[in-house]
Every structure is written in C-alpha cells, then in structure tokens.
Chains A and B, each alone.
Chain A
Amino acid sequence: MSALAHVAGDPGLEPAAAAPEVKRRSWTAYLLMLPGVLWLAIFFLLPLVQLASVSLQSRYPGFPGYYYRDLNFSNYASALTDYAPHFARSFLYAGLATFLAFAVAYPLAYAMAFKAGRWRNLMMICVIAPFFTSFILRTFAWSQILADEGWVAGVLNFLHLLPNGHIINTPIAVVAGLTYNFLPFMVLPIYASLERADPRVIEAGGDLYANGFTTFRTVTLPISMPGVLAGTLLTFIPAAGDFVNMELLGPQRGKMIGNVINDQFLAVPGGYPVAAALSFTLMAAILVLVFLYIRRFGTEELV
C-alpha cells in the first residue's frame, strides 16, 4: 500500500505543496474524526436545536420559568418589533468598531510584515500578550482611563471635542472598548496574509511610478484582502454579540442586543422563549450579513 501511495505522490513530478493527497483506508479517518465530531454534535448542534425549540415555546401564564412545546412564532415577532433598536445599535457599534480596528490594525500588521525585520517575533508577542490579562480587567481599566477625572476626558474637554463633556457611559466609550478588545483578531489575519506576500511585488508598484497611496490601493490592499476579510469577520461577529463593553463602559439606557439576551436569560423570569428567539435572530442576521459581505468582497481563502 505504501508503495502505491508513493507512486501516487511521486515527489519527482510535483512540487511538495501540490502533491496529491494520499488516500488511505478511510475508516482510520472516521476513527480520528469521531470523538471531535461527537463532541461538536452534542455540545454545539444539539444545543442549537434545543435553542430553536425554546424560541417557539410558550410560557404557562402565571408560572414564570415553565414552558410548553409549541410553534409560537410571536416570540420572533416580539423580538423584531420590541428590540429592533437594540439590533440596530449592535450592528452600528460593531460596524464602527470593526472599521476603527481595521484602520488601527493595518499599519501595525503592515509594519510587522515588511518593516519589522528581526523585531517581528517580539512585535507578535506584544500583539498577543495583552490577551493574557483578563479582558474584563482590561475593559475595567478603560473605564478608569476614560473616566471624567481621567486625562483622556481632560484633554478632549480642553479642546472642546466632547459634545456633553463625558466619554464614559456614552456610546463613544462602548465603541472604543469594542475596538480595543477585538483588535488582535484584526491584526493577526492581516499580518498573516501580508507576510505571505512577496515584498518585491509591492516594490514593483513604486518602480512603475505609482505613488504610495496608489501602490497601496492597487497592490498592497488587494494582496491582503483575504486577511482583511477574515479580520473584519473575526472582529464584527463577537463585537455584535458583546455585552460586557456596554455593561462596563456604556450608558444606562440604549443597550445592545447582547445585554437584552443576557438579561432575558439570566435575570428575567420566564424570559427564555423571547431570549432564544432574539439569539436566533442575531445569529441569522449575522449569517446573512457575512454571506452578503463574502459575496461582495470574498475570496475562497477564508479559512
């Protein structure tokens, strides 16, 4: 068998990367896959099915916490009508945060890929390292940094840049927190796709008398597009579902959809069906957005 495999993947004819996949007895593959697939089936698919069924349940009037199986689509109707502003805010804040994270992450990823030289590994560690301090501690630290007595609010107020004198407990602080928390998810994929690029291709843009911006727009950015795509998705999806930044940095009123889902499940008695409907709506909305986005900008190199 190994001789056959050797002929099939004759190393003399094909470069290593393009060597055809070796096909072996496939029951080995099933054995290897089985435990992991079972785990995902029991702890990912099954819970989603249960969530779908809960989203259609009705509650016994007068008995909070008790539900019966039903096809009650009014949970979705109430999810969409009562909480439309929360969905809108979530997508708006997550969209803004994704754009800001892109603007901040790109120069860093670019510098790491092309300019860092022997500092590259160190910079890589620096991008990942803040992760090791609990993100809730770091978000709480932002609430201290952005506090009214803090230097950031002080400087911005001195320049009369803040409309009502505060950053903390405003949507600005929420967007800032979301931008910060998911930034490494933007940096790493962009870096990965730039790092694979040949710097000579980009130099060629300059040699052909393109100015810096034109080279960036027509050469560098398209090369890094798979990374930008992956990075924006990895930033947008968790940001749209987040509630911690809103809870620690945001205003008392005007919450995001994540806060509503969290409260409905954990604090509102009998909140399960509507909360489940909200969760499914959020997931569906994100999947549709992701699908449209990939259709518009997509490449096949997503994963």
Chain B
Amino acid sequence: MTTTTRTTPPATTSETPAYRPSAGKRAQVWLANHFAMITAVLVLLYLFLPVAYTFVFSFNDHGKTNIVWQGFTWEHWQDPCGVQGVCESLVTSLEVGVISTVVATVLGTLMALAMVRYKFRGRSASNVLIFVPMATPEIVMGAALLTIFVQGFANIGINLGFGTIVFSHIMFCLSFVVVTVSARIQSLDPRIEEAAQDLYASPMQTFWKVTFPLILPGIAGAAMLAFSLSFDDFIITNFVSGNESTFPKFVYVASRRGIPAEANVIGFSMFVIAVLLVVGAQVVSSLRASKYKS
C-alpha cells in the first residue's frame, strides 16, 4: 500500500509558495504522463501477442501443420493428450521442475542466510561462484555439462536422462534463488530478531518463529522463479537430456514439422494456472496486509 503514496505530492511542498504551471505546461505534463502509460500498455500488448496466437491456434482444425488458420474445433481441448508424447513430456517437465525447485530452494536459502548474516573466509569467492553461472550463456553451461556427463559421469553409471536434467536444473536455479532470498533477508530489520533474543528466545526459536516467517515471501518468490526457469528451460536440457523429452524439447522437436495444437492447449493452460496462482498470492498477501492494519 506504499505504492499509492508515491504519486501523491509530499506534504512539505505546502511550505513553499504554490507554483502553478501555465495551462500549456500542464497540457505538456499531462501528455508526458500519459505518453509513458500509453507506451507501457502498447508494450504489454506486444508481450502478450504471441500468447494470444498460442491460444487462438489451440482451436485450429489443422491438418499436418498448425501454421495457417483452417477452422475452429474443440477437439484439441477435449483431448490434450491425444498426440503421442505430449503429456509424457509434460509430466517429465513437471517432475523435473518440482524436484529441482525443492532442492534449489532449500540449498539456495541456506546459502543466502550464510551470505547475508555471516562473515566468513571465502565469502567473496562464494559470491563470485554464485554470480558467474548467471553471467554464463546457457549454451556454454549445457556444453560443459554434456562433456562432463558423457566423459566423466558415464563411467560411474550415470547416463544422460532424467537424473542429469535434474542435476543441471538445480545448478542453474541455485544462483537465482540465492539472489532473490538474499534481497529479502537484507531488507529485514535486524532489530526484530534482536528483540526476540532479548526476550530470551533461543537462536532456533528466533529463526523459526521470527526470521523464517519474515523471509517466507522471498523464499516463495524464489521457488516460483526456480520452477519457471526449470519448466521453460530448453537449451541446457537439450544438451543433457539424452532420449528423455521435456515439454519444451517436445515442442522444439515438433516445430520442424508443425507443433500440434495439443501443445498450444497445454502451453496456454500452464499460463492460465500460473497467472491464477500469482494473482491469488497477491490477493492473499494484500488481504493479510489489510488485516494487520485494522
């Protein structure tokens, strides 16, 4: 609710003599204000344009390729698993996403707590180790993982497949979790925890009763980010998946001969589910905020 206070003028301006801009100036300002908003709405429409195409073409009564509009049908929505491989790949993606998200979120949160709350030897080296994976092109990471899996891990019986996908996804999600959760921990007022300790809470009690609930929104945000990164990853997955297929890989392979509309149904449904979840979380948090206010 701090968001609305920004647009209102600060109270201190009443001390200085009021400055009334001329009508022309005001019109200019009005135009400038709305120019930004109009541009913003156009950019948002641009962001949604391909999503709209994905939606519309999920109803396309297509033959071999789903490229040109040929007529309306409900068929693909009635049986989204009707094309071979599409739902199997979706299940794989969901499994990979959930496992990677859980592991990366736990490991990343532990790291974030150490990075923000402790000073230790090797802290700046760890900082570099966390930052560099985010600055490395995915294709380089994928290539590096492929070489180690094929030339190293294969010797100890780990072959390309589900496991190697999960290992890789945890790796590239980890840094994003650390950064997201660290930001949340940094924004906490350390005096709240000090107060808990002053009230004779043990360090464990302080963590679980005070710190953890306060950083939970940051952890939830990080988990959502990790899941969406994992679910949508193609480039690294393509290198390390072997014969296993994830949803993005299925779509990419299918794109050579035309993506079946069932994939559009699933892609758009994921979009709707995710948006509902995000909006739901927003509503819950704003309800909670208003409950505390009253």
- Contact at B167–A43, with CB atoms within 8 Å? yes
B235 sits at the interface (CB 8 A) = yes
The residues of A that contact B139 with a CB separation of less than 8 Å are 241-243, 258, 261-262, 279, 282
Measured between alpha carbons, how far is A258 from B239 in the docked complex, in Å? 12
The residues of A that contact B54 with a CB separation of less than 8 Å are 133, 137-138, 141
- Contact at B40–A107, with CB atoms within 8 Å? yes
- Contact at B144–A48, with CB atoms within 8 Å? yes
Give the interface segment out of A16-24, A73-81, A158-166, A221-229: A16-24
Scoring B32, B194, B264 by chain A CB atoms within 10 A of each residue's CB, the highest score goes to B194
A118 sits at the interface (CB 8 A) = yes
- Contact at B144–A50, with CB atoms within 8 Å? yes
Query: Closest approach, in angstroms, between the C-beta of B69 and any C-beta of chain A?
Result: 9
- Contact at B50–A36, with CB atoms within 8 Å? no
The residues of A that contact B171 with a CB separation of less than 8 Å are 39-40, 43-44
- Total of A-B residue pairs, C-beta within 8 Å: 292
Measured between alpha carbons, how far is A51 from B142 in the docked complex, in Å? 10
A292 sits at the interface (CB 8 A) = no
B212 sits at the interface (CB 8 A) = no
The residues of B that contact A237 with a CB separation of less than 8 Å are 135-137
Measured between alpha carbons, how far is A279 from B148 in the docked complex, in Å? 14
A37 sits at the interface (CB 8 A) = yes
- Contact at B174–A39, with CB atoms within 8 Å? yes
Interface residues on B, range: 35 or more
Mark interface residues in B129-149 (1 if CB within 8 Å of A CB, else 0).
111110111111101111110
Query: Closest approach, in angstroms, between the C-beta of B221 and any C-beta of chain A?
Result: 11
Measured between alpha carbons, how far is A240 from B68 in the docked complex, in Å? 31
- Contact at A140–B259, with CB atoms within 8 Å? yes
Measured between alpha carbons, how far is A262 from B152 in the docked complex, in Å? 20
Query: A136 with B140: in contact, given A16-B190, A51-B147, A125-B279 (CB under 8 Å)?
Result: no
- Contact at A126–B44, with CB atoms within 8 Å? yes
A219 sits at the interface (CB 8 A) = no
B270 sits at the interface (CB 8 A) = yes
Query: Closest approach, in angstroms, between the C-beta of B258 and any C-beta of chain A?
Result: 9
B10 sits at the interface (CB 8 A) = yes
Measured between alpha carbons, how far is A121 from B53 in the docked complex, in Å? 25
Measured between alpha carbons, how far is A9 from B132 in the docked complex, in Å? 32
B33 sits at the interface (CB 8 A) = yes
- Contact at B274–A44, with CB atoms within 8 Å? no
- Contact at A132–B147, with CB atoms within 8 Å? no
Mostly, the B contact residues are helix
Measured between alpha carbons, how far is A28 from B57 in the docked complex, in Å? 54
Interface residues of B in 163-186 (CB under 8 A from A): 167-168, 170-171, 174-175, 178-179
Interface residues of A in 119-142 (CB under 8 A from B): 120-121, 123, 125-142
Query: A133 with B131: in contact, given A26-B119, A32-B111, A39-B174 (CB under 8 Å)?
Result: no
Interface residues of B in 29-62 (CB under 8 A from A): 29, 32-33, 35-37, 39-40, 43-44, 46-51, 53-54, 57
Interface residues of A in 19-75 (CB under 8 A from B): 19, 21-24, 26, 28-30, 32-33, 35-37, 39-41, 43-48, 50-51, 54
Query: A286 with B235: in contact, given A35-B107, A132-B275 (CB under 8 Å)?
Result: no
Query: Closest approach, in angstroms, between the C-beta of B27 and any C-beta of chain A?
Result: 13
Query: Closest approach, in angstroms, between the C-beta of B3 and any C-beta of chain A?
Result: 5
The residues of B that contact A183 with a CB separation of less than 8 Å are 43, 47
- Contact at B44–A131, with CB atoms within 8 Å? no
Query: Closest approach, in angstroms, between the C-beta of A59 and any C-beta of chain B?
Result: 13
- Contact at A134–B248, with CB atoms within 8 Å? yes
A144 sits at the interface (CB 8 A) = yes
A6 sits at the interface (CB 8 A) = yes
B83 sits at the interface (CB 8 A) = no
The residues of B that contact A105 with a CB separation of less than 8 Å are 43
- Contact at A32–B51, with CB atoms within 8 Å? no
A238 sits at the interface (CB 8 A) = yes
Measured between alpha carbons, how far is A208 from B274 in the docked complex, in Å? 46
The residues of A that contact B162 with a CB separation of less than 8 Å are none
Mark interface residues in A251-294 (1 if CB within 8 Å of B CB, else 0).
00000001001100110000010011001101100110010000
Q: Can you list 25 A-B pairs, Cβ within 8 angstroms, ordered by A?
A: A11-B194, A26-B121, A28-B118, A36-B107, A36-B110, A36-B174, A37-B111, A39-B171, A40-B130, A40-B133, A44-B141, A45-B129, A48-B144, A108-B40, A133-B267, A136-B255, A137-B50, A137-B251, A206-B29, A233-B135, A242-B235, A243-B139, A248-B255, A283-B140, A303-B179
Beyond the given pairs A132-B270, A241-B138, A282-B137, 13 more chain A to chain B contacts, judged by CB atoms under 8 angstroms and listed by A's residue number, are A9-B194, A29-B120, A36-B174, A39-B107, A44-B141, A111-B37, A130-B50, A131-B232, A132-B232, A138-B50, A241-B235, A279-B144, A286-B135
8 tightest A-B contacts by CB?
A: A241-B137, A29-B118, A111-B40, A47-B144, A141-B50, A132-B274, A32-B114, A141-B53
Residues of B at the A interface (CB closer than 8 Å) are 3-4, 6-7, 10, 19, 28-29, 32-33, 35-37, 39-40, 43-44, 46-51, 53-54, 57, 67-68, 107-108, 110-111, 113-115, 117-121, 126-127, 129-133, 135-141, 143-148, 151-152, 167-168, 170-171, 174-175, 178-179, 189-191, 194, 197-198, 203, 228, 232, 234-235, 238-239, 247-248, 251-252, 255, 259, 263-264, 267-268, 270-271, 273-275, 278-279, 282
